[in-house]
């Protein structure tokens, strides 16, 4: 069965018009008769021959031989330090940059939290998110204030590349009333722990509001590049689906920043169908009436003001 799978995959690669016996004979440097015996299943490929054929014809043995109920995945690197985080952003950009904006690339984001692409440039909010991530993901935590962390943080353009990529493609985001909650709660937590000054805490709240202002400005009917959906029933999970006209990639979170990544055709298509169904059950903010759009954003602005009022220094608690 496995040998037949390999033979069929090679034939598909070279096309039906070409002789698979000649192709196998040339790639393995064996006689025509020896190749014929293998193609007719009278003899078996050795392990070494199988690897040679896979490399020669660009075949993935994992994908070729995996069972129908199994999905091949790779995962992002674990993060314990700023260097790990930089490598994570670098590798994430490489995975995404396989998709080019001029190839009709689009992205769906199930935004349980504020999408990471908004908080990985070089602003104060992005620095704070790095501080939060490292405190949560590092085994020992950072054991320093945000301001001390900020003084040691070097400029890193790798996150900016991901931010720019996100701006260059068609994006569909699904939000609900809780999408901004975790970032606001993180500001309050570190402020009340005495690890974030009241001044910076309030600035961070203002920057979240500025981010929402910029998103609101993009939510216009004729903006096909960016579309924001509101779903009040779906439990969001930070799944990301990227696709172009030829392929799809699914990013599934398993820790705060850790993602499993798969290009499995059936799985990605199933998720794409799921997204399309959920969009039908969502409200497209871009085309919503002025009243509905203002209700959505004003609720978020009011929530930010509420959390901002809770930001205080340790001396005030």
- What pLDDT was estimated at residue 140? 73
Q: Which residues of 4-14 are buried (b: 16+ CB within 10 A; e: fewer)?
A: eebbebbbeee
| Token output for 245 | 């006209």
Indicate the pTM of the whole model.
Answer: 0.79
Q: From 165, 172, 170, select the one nearest 275 (Cα to Cα).
A: 172
Pairing of strands 248-253, 259-262: antiparallel
- The answer to whether residue 317 scores a pLDDT higher than 60 is no
The helix (H) or strand (E) run that includes residue 106 is strand 106-110
Residue 160's pLDDT band (boundaries 50, 70, 90)? Answer: confident
Residue 62's pLDDT band (boundaries 50, 70, 90)? Answer: low
Distance from the Cα of residue 265 to its chain's centroid? 17
The strand pairing partners of 74, in sequence order, are 261
- What pLDDT was estimated at residue 153? 83
- What pLDDT was estimated at residue 249? 93
Q: Higher pLDDT residue, 96 or 109?
A: 109
Distance from the Cα of residue 87 to its chain's centroid? 15
Domains and CATH numbers, the chain: 2-65 (1.10.260), 74-316 (no CATH)
- What pLDDT was estimated at residue 69? 65
Contacts of the segment 288-293: beta carbons below 8 A, 24+ positions apart? 293/216, 293/219
Residue 213's pLDDT band (boundaries 50, 70, 90)? Answer: very high
Tell me if 278 sits within 8 A of 174, measured CB to CB: yes
- What pLDDT was estimated at residue 67? 64
**Mean pLDDT (the chain, rounded):** 90
- What whole-number distance in Å separates Cα of residue 194 and Cα of residue 71? 45
Q: What is the largest CA-CA distance in the chain?
A: 87
């Amino acid at each position: 069965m496995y040998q037949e799978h390999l033979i069929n995959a090679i034939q598909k690669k070279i096309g039906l018009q070409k002789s698979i016996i000649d192709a196998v004979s040339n790639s393995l440097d064996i006689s025509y008769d020896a190749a014929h015996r293998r193609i007719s299943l009278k003899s078996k490929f050795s392990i070494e021959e199988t690897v040679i054929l896979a490399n020669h014809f660009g075949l993935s043995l994992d994908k070729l031989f995996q069972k129908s109920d199994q999905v091949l995945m790779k995962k992002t690197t674990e993060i314990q330090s700023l260097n790990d985080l930089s490598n994570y952003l670098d590798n994430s950009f490489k995975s995404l940059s396989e998709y080019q904006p001029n190839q009709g690339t689009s992205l769906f984001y199930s935004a349980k939290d504020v999408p990471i692409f908004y908080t990985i440039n070089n602003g104060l909010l992005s620095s704070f998110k790095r501080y939060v991530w490292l405190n949560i993901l590092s085994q020992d935590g950072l054991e320093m204030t945000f301001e001390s962390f900020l003084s040691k943080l070097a400029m890193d353009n790798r996150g900016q590349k991901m931010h720019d990529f996100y701006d260059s493609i068609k994006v569909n985001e699904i939000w609900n009333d809780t999408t901004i909650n975790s970032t606001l709660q993180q500001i309050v937590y570190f402020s009340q722990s005495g690890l974030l000054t009241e001044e910076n805490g309030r600035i961070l709240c203002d920057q979240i509001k500025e981010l929402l202002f910029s998103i609101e400005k993009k939510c216009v009917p004729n903006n096909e590049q960016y579309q924001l959906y509101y779903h009040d029933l779906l439990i969001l999970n930070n799944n990301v689906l990227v696709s172009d006209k030829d392929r799809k990639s699914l990013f599934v979170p398993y820790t705060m920043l850790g993602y499993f990544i798969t290009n499995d055709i059936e799985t990605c298509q199933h998720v794409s169908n799921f997204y399309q169904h959920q969009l039908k059950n969502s409200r497209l903010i871009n085309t919503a009436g002025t009243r509905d759009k203002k209700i959505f954003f004003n609720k978020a602005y009011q929530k930010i003001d509420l959390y901002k009022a809770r930001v205080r220094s340790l001396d005030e608690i």
